[in-house]
Structure 1
Amino acid sequence: MSTLELNRFIVILIYGSLVLLSLLKLNNPLKVNRKANFWFGIFVFLWSSFWLDEVLSLVTMSEIQIHSIFVVQFVQFLTPIIFYFSVLFYTNPSFKFKIFDVKYFILPAIFLIILLLQRTVESDSPFFEFLDIIFISLILIQAFFYTGLSYLTIRKHQKRIQQFSANTEGINLNWLEYIILTIFIINIVYIVYNLLYNPTSLNFFINLAFLGVIYFVAYYSLKQKEIYPVGEKQREELISIDKESETEEIKRKLISDEELLRIKNQLETLMETQKPYLDSELNLIRLSELLSVSTHHLSYVINTGFQKNFFQYVNEYRIEYAKKLLKDNSKNRLSILGIAYESGFNSKTSFNTTFKKLTNQTPSEFKK
């Protein structure tokens, strides 16, 4: 099989995989992250359209340029913003569009005007060339702006979830971050190669890289669990805590110093006697229920009284417990993974990462 034939096969795989993934995300068989999966499904479907020209050309055995159709051009332009909407709903399932959010459609509106103008101007006129430059510039601006905004939103999310969860693996949306970085790198390579070399010789490798990215996307997006796995009222409570920490409202006094000290002592006693941190599903809500205090007050006590977020506070206890197990010769029958589970972690990766961060050693090095 020649490189050209192999490239055609890869193109068909890319398009078919994206369409299938789009249908799966829109159908949402696991019934989680409903709004996020809806928008992500639309994004994937729009993403597949970028290979539609090649697929139809292969089927009809003649060159077809779907991307030059007015509606297709406009819809493809929306791809980055649709991706950003999915990120918004992954990081905040309670997000609602407001009148002010019309700002998201400023660039699409300008792009639509440019498309309409292009169809009223002669293709060989200087004004058409000027419109073409604006056309390409808007595509690049839209792509880079919303890709960057999506990346920053995910990074903020990864910090916010540490306010209420002690095990962030599986809800930190790392896979979306990796997608953004990988596609960004692939596109930069493609643009540079286009400027310096013959672009057709790189198509096979670019398509092969995209196929790998697509299967990565499919695997992690389909296994993504609910980010806020609680009832609507509790979810709103957690999200409001996130917003407070984001705006530093947490510095405002929520309770008196005496009340803070009382809850702080009560919390330390609970952690020492009942060891709730050994529960891998422990979160801010469960701990607040054990203390019979509100989640807002508990978050304030941990943030202000201990100068830590919930993630740091709980995992320091887990690491101290793990260190005892690693030193205990009677526990030698336990593997590193076994000690991780015993200490409240739900994976070896998160255990090793947290252990290394707090002790500057891996669990194996500490044991030796």
Structure 2
Amino acid sequence: MNTSELNSFIVILIYGSLVLLSLLKLANPLKVNHKANFWFGIFLFLWSTFWLDEVLFLITGSIIEFHSLFWVRLIQFFTPIVFYFSVLFYTNPSFTFKLTAVKFLILPAAFLVCLILIKLGYKKPFEYLSIILILIQALFYTGLSYITIRKHQKKIQQFSSNTEGINLNWLEYIILVLLIVNIIYVIYNLFYDPKSLNFFINAVFLSVIYCVGYYSLKQKEIYPLEEKQRQELISIDEDSGPEEVKKKLISDEELLKIKTLLEEIMELQKPYLDSELNLIKLAEILSVSTHHLSYVINTGFGKNFFQYVNEFRVEYAKKLLKEPNNKLSVLGIAYEAGFNSKTSFNTTFKKVTGQTPSEFRK
């Protein structure tokens, strides 16, 4: 099999994989992240259309300019926006479109005008302008999606003690890989023959698509399904950080009372050993509101919920690692201390102590 045949085979795999994955996300068999999976499924379907020219050529044996059709070009232009919508709903399932959402139509409207003018015969200047709009749209929404995910990773530390599985790392890495690949492709288009890069680009895209499939299908629900609890956590997310510390939610006396009670419970009951411990569970144990507990941890201890709980877990793990007769493996100790994976245990332990658990044990 030569390079051309292998490239054709990869193109078929890319298109088929994207269409299948799109249908799976739209069907959402696990019934999680409903709105996010809907938009992500639409994104995957739109993404698949970029290979339809090559697929149709392989089927018919003649060149079909599907990609250059007026309505196809317009619909494909929405691909980065649809991806951004999926990110919005992953990071905030209660997000709703308001009148201000009209701003999302500014660039598509400009692109539509360009397409109409090209169709009317004003090709040269507006073809270049349409390409510039495509690049602006892609870079703007890719960047916005990346920033949204980074903010989300900080937000979830306000209410979750184990962020693996809900931090959307896989989306962040995919954005970075796609950005790098597209930069390479643009440079090659400018200075070299882009066809010589097709095999490499398609092979990378196929790898990315399989990663997307693996991680997106195992993505669990990020926020609680119960609407009241979800709204509580989302509102804490929005208010958290330095600004929240400045606003007094409770008196100093009440803060000290909750702080003392929290220290007692953490010492005696050891709720941090529960790997699924979150702000809601801990607030229920203390019989206080999630807002007040978050405020006490942020203001009284100068930490977020994730840092506060995991420092207790690290201290507990250190005791187990010091015990000469303890025959538990590092992974066993991680589970005993409330961590849900060796990776999160190693990362958190090193961040707190400056050493890996294995180094500390030696």
TM-score (norm 1): 0.97
Alignment of 1:184-195 (within 5 A): 184-195=179-190
Instruction: Indicate the residue corresponding to 1:14 in structure 2.
Output: 14
Instruction: Indicate the residue corresponding to 2:263 in structure 1.
Output: 268
CA deviation string 1:259-294 (max 9, x = no partner) = 000000000000000000000000000000000000
CA deviation string 1:164-215 (max 9, x = no partner) = 0010000000000011000000011111122222111110011000000000
Residues 247 and 89 from structure 1, CA distance in 2 versus in 1: closer, same or farther, beyond 3 angstroms? farther
Whether the 8 Å contact between 1:322 and 1:340 is mirrored in structure 2 is yes
Q: Measure the CA separation in 1 of the matches of 2:347 and 2:266.
A: 22
1:365 is the counterpart of 2:348? no
Instruction: Indicate the residue corresponding to 2:126 in structure 1.
Output: 131
**Post-superposition offset of 1:230:** 3.9
CA deviation string 1:247-268 (max 9, x = no partner) = 8234200000000000000000
**Post-superposition offset of 1:113:** 1.2
Residues 246 and 304 from structure 1, CA distance in 2 versus in 1: closer, same or farther, beyond 3 angstroms? closer
Instruction: Indicate the residue corresponding to 2:203 in structure 1.
Output: 208
Instruction: Indicate the residue corresponding to 1:164 in structure 2.
Output: 159
Instruction: Indicate the residue corresponding to 1:309 in structure 2.
Output: 304
Aligned Cα root-mean-square deviation (Å): 0.9
Residues 75 and 88 from structure 1, CA distance in 2 versus in 1: closer, same or farther, beyond 3 angstroms? same
1:244 is the counterpart of 2:244? no
Unaligned runs of 5+ in 2: none
Instruction: Indicate the residue corresponding to 2:337 in structure 1.
Output: 343
2:226 is aligned, of 209, 231, 234, to 231
Whether the 8 Å contact between 2:24 and 2:41 is mirrored in structure 1 is yes
Whether the 8 Å contact between 1:244 and 1:250 is mirrored in structure 2 is no
Whether the 8 Å contact between 2:244 and 2:295 is mirrored in structure 1 is no
**Post-superposition offset of 1:246:** 5.4
TM-score (norm 2): 0.99
Q: Measure the CA separation in 1 of the matches of 2:44 and 2:266.
A: 45
Instruction: Indicate the residue corresponding to 1:353 in structure 2.
Output: 347
2:295 is aligned, of 275, 287, 300, to 300
Alignment of 1:113-124 (within 5 A): 113-121=113-121
SS of alignment partner, residue 299 of structure 1:
helix
1:323 is aligned, of 318, 322, 332, to 318
Unaligned runs of 5+ in 1: 122-126
SS of alignment partner, residue 248 of structure 1:
helix
Whether the 8 Å contact between 2:331 and 2:342 is mirrored in structure 1 is yes
1:40 is the counterpart of 2:40? yes
Identical aligned residues as a percent: 74
- Structure 1 counterpart of 2:194, which letter? P
- Structure 1 counterpart of 2:324, which letter? N
Alignment of 1:34-73 (within 5 A): 34-73=34-73
**Post-superposition offset of 1:242:** 0.3
Whether the 8 Å contact between 1:277 and 1:318 is mirrored in structure 2 is yes
Q: Measure the CA separation in 1 of the matches of 2:127 and 2:51.
A: 22
CA deviation string 1:87-140 (max 9, x = no partner) = 00000000000001110111111111111111112xxxxx52111111011000
CA deviation string 1:9-55 (max 9, x = no partner) = 00000000000000000000000000000000000000000000000
Whether the 8 Å contact between 1:285 and 1:295 is mirrored in structure 2 is yes
Instruction: Indicate the residue corresponding to 1:253 in structure 2.
Output: 248
Instruction: Indicate the residue corresponding to 1:144 in structure 2.
Output: 139
SS of alignment partner, residue 329 of structure 1:
coil
Q: Between 28-37 and 250-259, report the one with greater CA deviation.
A: 250-259
Instruction: Indicate the residue corresponding to 1:124 in structure 2.
Output: none
Moved over 3 A (4+): none
Whether the 8 Å contact between 2:17 and 2:209 is mirrored in structure 1 is yes
Instruction: Indicate the residue corresponding to 2:285 in structure 1.
Output: 290
**Post-superposition offset of 1:229:** 2.7
Q: Measure the CA separation in 1 of the matches of 2:337 and 2:219.
A: 24
Q: Measure the CA separation in 2 of the matches of 1:5 and 1:25.
A: 30
Whether the 8 Å contact between 1:33 and 1:90 is mirrored in structure 2 is yes
Q: Measure the CA separation in 2 of the matches of 1:73 and 1:361.
A: 53
